[in-house]
Chains A and B, each alone.
Chain A
Amino acid sequence: MKAHHGYEDGSGRFYITVDTARCNGCAECVAACPARALEMVEEDPMEERLVAAISEAHRRRIRYSCASCKPTGYDPVTLPCVAACEPDAIEHSW
């Protein structure tokens, strides 16, 4: 399942997508995030597997939580959460 965590408003669309089929529950991303925006949650109600998700406290301000990892400018940036994810389950929409 593709879980898009974040929001959109007049300024744009700001979503971090976790592909829960790929997520292996390692929680490396949780540790890697300087803003501590990620946490492990039980996604499927019928199973007990944990997957990564953006925490409730950060979801509606994710653009601002991620700001320090995303300088403006034209150089491509390696985001710590994406780099930490071995199965490539995390994507940012901006």
Chain B
Amino acid sequence: MTDELAPTREHWRWKEDRWHDRGLRWEDASIISAGIDVGSVSSQAVVMVDGRLFAWSSIRTGASSPQSARDAMARALEGTGLEVERIHFIVGTGYGRVNVPFAHKAITEIHCHARGANFMYGDRVRTILDMGGQDCKAIRCDERGKVVNFRMNDKCAAGTGRGMEVFADLLQVPIDRVGPMSLEVDEEPPPVSSTCVVFAKSEASGLLRQGWPKEKVLAAYCSAMAHRVFALLRSVRVEREFAITGGIAKNPGVVRRIERELGFEAIRSDIDSQIAGALGAALFAHALEQKARSGGGERR
């Protein structure tokens, strides 16, 4: 615990992104719905037109959650000609879900993730693992994307993006290289023994001093992370098909090791794994608008 813990810098050079379907005409839509997911590290907005994916954005969450929500929404609508006032129903979710001031309703990220995964991966998905910036969730759902069982851990950095960032920092490796580098080992080393990121970091420093190359240390850490997450998954009992969402889905070092422990692969989607929460929120928004119009509910 004596090493030079560099002040936490963001080695995470995060790619902000947006997309929209130029072939879809929102002007002809009956229902335009949107979902905004404000997380601790990143924020996403998704716009749907009659239940079809129309536009999305993914940006870094700034100092203000409400502002990040507005920025994500604006980014998603860029170049579409659609204005936020024309959207019929907006659902907010994520860490800052209560901070989406222009949302009609807030829904927990658990429900939004399950619904979004159901859209992205199809109705055969039953188990979802989401590893976000500061939390880790295991969700079981049915064929409609309705949650049956879930466990979330947002207390401890182990198994989260921040936890991974600490290691990227220690080893001076860009975050998107962590996964690939960890797979460049001839033999899988034993995982670091500590679950706690702070203690694991001390352990890793010790390993580096013993002459371990960076790849080996990364492998040991990714292995420990995968194992830790696997334990969380096991506690909700994994049923196929299994999908991984969130930033860490893009870390092959952790994904591959989880798949190894499970004995099968996670299903993939063409849609960016980061937007699952916002996507589910947009789907709920669509359903709630439908319900409101048929007299079954209210737009608050």
Contact = CB atoms under 8 A, between A and B. Distances in A.
Contact of B150 (A3, A8, A10): A3
B284 interface: yes
B147 A7 contact: no
Given A45-B107, A45-B284, A46-B287, A9 B196 contact: yes
Contacts of B111: 44-45
B291 interface: yes
28 contacts: A1-B147, A1-B148, A1-B149, A1-B150, A2-B236, A4-B149, A4-B150, A4-B151, A4-B152, A7-B153, A7-B154, A7-B155, A7-B156, A8-B153, A8-B155, A8-B156, A9-B155, A9-B158, A9-B195, A9-B196, A10-B158, A10-B196, A10-B199, A44-B111, A45-B107, A46-B284, A46-B288, A60-B155
Given A1-B147, A2-B236, A59-B154, 10 more contacts: A4-B150, A4-B151, A4-B152, A4-B235, A7-B154, A9-B158, A9-B195, A10-B195, A45-B284, A60-B155
B80 interface: no
Interface string A1-44: 11110011110010100000000000000000000000000001
B194 interface: yes
Interface of A: 1-4, 7-10, 13, 15, 44-46, 59-61
A21 to B, nearest CB: 10
Contacts of A8: 153, 155-156, 232
Contacts of A3: 150
Contacts of B152: 4
A7 B228 CA distance: 13
B225 to A, nearest CB: 14
A27 B236 CA distance: 26
A46 B291 contact: yes
- Interface size band for B: 20 to 34
B151 A15 contact: yes
B78 to A, nearest CB: 28
Interface string B209-235: 000000000000000000000001001
Contacts of B156: 7-10
B294 to A, nearest CB: 13
A10 to B, nearest CB: 4
Contacts of A45: 105, 107-108, 111, 284, 288
Among all A-B residue pairs, the 5 with the closest Cβ atoms = A7-B155, A60-B155, A9-B156, A10-B196, A4-B151
B132 to A, nearest CB: 14
Contacts of A2: 148-150, 236
Interface string B245-289: 000000000000000000000000000000000000000100110
Contacts of B199: 10
Interface in B144-195: 146-156, 158, 194-195
Contacts of B158: 9-10
A39 to B, nearest CB: 13
A44 B156 CA distance: 27
Contacts of A15: 151
A9 B197 CA distance: 10
